[in-house]
């Protein structure tokens, strides 16, 4: 008996074959049309890690990896999704590269010492945060920082990738009722000047707050206009404790300053020329020891000692101008040369104390005759011109004699030989004047024993002028 073939089965097999050939043909077409095979079209890398695009290439038909070019820039240090493409045989194969952060931050906590009621930042409880992205710090809860005592607080650090880490620490809350200490708010008299630093010499300290705030109510203060001004100073700590003080600043007109007449008060005005130097700090310490104020007529000498100008000013001494160069041949060669030199030392002093003093002393004094060697009659001109320009010059009516080489005993004997009510005593502050430093305590002690007080030159002090000889 003959078997007939099943036409249905035959048709099915034929259909499968056709389908196989179609799929095979499509894949061959894809291989020919798209000969670059990639592992993935979405690549993920960790922030900070290098991007190796060649690792995403599965195969290259009719070529090798070196034939593939790259298009696009990936910022591996910044989160985000970046377009990127492989280029092979003038065809682009686009992919996305996503830079992610999956690593939680690492950090340390520190215990908190808090004043009751103060604003507390969670940042103050952490240190040494390590993460490859920016982080924010917060408290896990809204803690009570108003009630004195010790509590446990939890701090959370979150990075830009959304990763978080948390740790706990202790917070000690203290009730602080002690007011800040406000120092240096003393009444002063100044010359008219373009600007005056109201914070100069002012210090704020507090028992608990290292950053207590200083506020100043200027009250229409104008340092360029003569008048009497009341300045209000306020120091406030983080607990709200406040200290307030008032200060009278008198801006005195240049025309009304000083007097050529001595007053009845027994006063010694110690003056030191030619500093600052290695001896300045020693002199300042001696003056502090005896609670004595003095005046320093400074020069440009050694820049490494310029900070001592500021130090002397902050300790309450008067800073005055002597010259920059102390070069007679230059400064007395012409009026222009003198004022250029004076301006130079004035600018140096301004850098240290914030303004240019109006107190000056001519090198050699106003009575010097050596200036004749460089310009006839210049001292007559300068002695008038400096006052026209708002300066006051000071000579002396007493000298320690330390301009020459003298022993300590000789300096003491000469310096204590004067008996005027008002004595402007000349000494020097150069590095060679060790004997001046040694003699200073005995000089001070002598005049104190005679009922004298020591003052720095100011707008109200006696001014000594020598007779001009050129």
pTM of the model: 0.51
**169: which strand partners?**
153
Q: Indicate the domain borders of the chain.
A: 40-100, 106-174, 181-254, 257-454
Show the tokens assigned to 318: 């008067």
Q: Which CATH class is domain 181-254?
A: mainly beta
Helices 280-289, 434-449: crossing angle, 10 deg rounding: 20
The pLDDT, as a whole number, for residue 1 is: 47
Summarised one tens digit per residue, pLDDT across range 418-437 is 999 999 999 999 999 999 99
Cα separation, 296 vs 461, in Å, equals 15
Among 201, 269, 208, which Cα is nearest to 238's?
Answer: 208
Give the total residue count for the chain. 470
Q: Give 118's pLDDT tier (boundaries 50, 70, 90).
A: confident
Cβ atoms within 10 Å of 403's Cβ, excluding its own: 15
pLDDT higher than 70, residue 26? no
Tokens of 253: 């007109």
* Closest among 404, 411, 399 to 440, alpha carbons compared: 411
Return the SS3 of 221: coil
Mean pLDDT across the chain: 91
The pairing of beta strand 295-298 with beta strand 188-190:
unpaired
Distance of CA 393 to the CA centre of its chain: 35
Say yes or no to pLDDT of 33 above 70: no
Range from 4-18, 124-138, 209-223, 265-279 carrying the lowest mean pLDDT: 4-18
Min mean pLDDT across 24-28, 81-85, 207-211 is at 24-28
> The domain 40-100 is classified under which CATH number: 3.40.50.10790, 1.10.10.920, 2.60.40.10, 3.40.50.2000?
2.60.40.10
CATH code of 106-174, in short, is 2.60.40
Task: Give Cα 294 to chain centroid, integer Å.
Answer: 29
Give tens-digit pLDDT for 297-324. 999 988 999 999 999 999 999 999 999 9
Complete edge-to-edge strand list for the sheet that includes strand 91-100: 42-46, 91-100, 80-88, 69-71
Distances (CA, A) of 81 to 72, 75, 122, 161, 182: 12, 9, 32, 13, 56
C-alpha distances out from residue 43 to 64, 66, 299, Å: 21, 20, 71
- Domain 40-100 and domain 106-174 have a common topology: yes
SS3 of the chain: helix, strand, coil, percent, to 5: 25, 30, 45
- The answer as to CATH 3.40.50.2300 being correct for domain 257-454 is no
Measured distance CA(257)–CA(463) in Å, rounded: 9
Per cent of the chain over pLDDT 70 is 94
């Amino acid at each position: 008996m003959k078997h007939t073939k099943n036409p249905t089965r035959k048709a099915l097999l034929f259909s499968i074959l056709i389908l196989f050939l179609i799929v095979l043909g499509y894949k061959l077409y894809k291989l020919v049309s798209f000969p670059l095979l990639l592992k993935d079209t979405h690549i993920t890398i960790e922030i900070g890690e290098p991007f190796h695009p060649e690792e995403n290439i599965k195969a290259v038909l009719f070529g090798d990896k070196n034939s593939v070019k790259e298009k696009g820039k990936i910022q591996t240090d910044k989160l985000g999704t970046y377009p990127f493409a492989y280029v092979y045989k003038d065809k682009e194969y686009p992919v996305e590269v996503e830079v992610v952060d999956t690593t939680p931050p690492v950090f340390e906590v520190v215990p908190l010492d808090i004043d009751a009621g103060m604003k507390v930042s969670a940042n103050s409880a952490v240190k040494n945060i390590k993460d490859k992205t920016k982080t924010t710090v917060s408290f896990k809860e809204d803690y009570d920082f108003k009630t004195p005592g010790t509590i446990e607080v939890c701090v959370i650090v979150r990075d830009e990738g959304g990763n978080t880490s948390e740790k706990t620490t202790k917070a000690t809350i203290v009730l602080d009722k002690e007011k800040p200490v406000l120092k240096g708010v003393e009444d002063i008299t100044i010359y008219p000047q373009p600007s005056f630093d109201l914070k100069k010499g002012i210090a704020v300290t507090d028992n608990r707050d290292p950053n207590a705030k200083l506020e100043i109510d200027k009250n229409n203060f104008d340092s360029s206009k003569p008048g009497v001004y009341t300045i209000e100073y306020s120091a406030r700590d983080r607990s709200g404790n406040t200290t307030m003080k008032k200060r009278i600043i008198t801006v005195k007109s240049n025309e009304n300053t000083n007097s050529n007449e001595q007053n009845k008060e027994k006063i010694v005005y110690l003056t030191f020329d030619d500093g600052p130097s290695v001896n300045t700090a020693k002199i300042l310490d001696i003056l502090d020891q005896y609670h004595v104020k003095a005046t320093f007529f400074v020069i440009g000498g050694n820049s490494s000692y310029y900070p001592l100008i500021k130090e002397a000013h902050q300790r309450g001494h008067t800073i005055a101008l002597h010259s920059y160069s102390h070069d007679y041949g230059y400064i007395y060669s012409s009026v222009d040369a003198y004022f250029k030199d004076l301006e130079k030392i004035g600018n140096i002093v301004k850098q240290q104390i914030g303004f240019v003093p109006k107190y000056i002393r001519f090198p050699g004094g106003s009575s010097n005759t050596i200036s004749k060697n460089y310009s006839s009659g210049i001292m007559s001109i300068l002695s008038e011109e400096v006052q026209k320009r708002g300066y006051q010059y000071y000579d002396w009516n007493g000298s320690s004699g330390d301009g020459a080489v003298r022993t300590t005993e000789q300096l003491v004997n000469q310096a204590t030989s004067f008996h005027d009510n008002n004595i402007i005593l000349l000494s020097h502050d150069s590095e060679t004047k060790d004997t001046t430093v040694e003699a200073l305590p005995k000089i001070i002690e002598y005049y104190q024993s005679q009922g004298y007080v020591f003052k720095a030159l100011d707008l109200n002090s006696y001014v000594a002028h020598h007779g001009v000889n050129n």
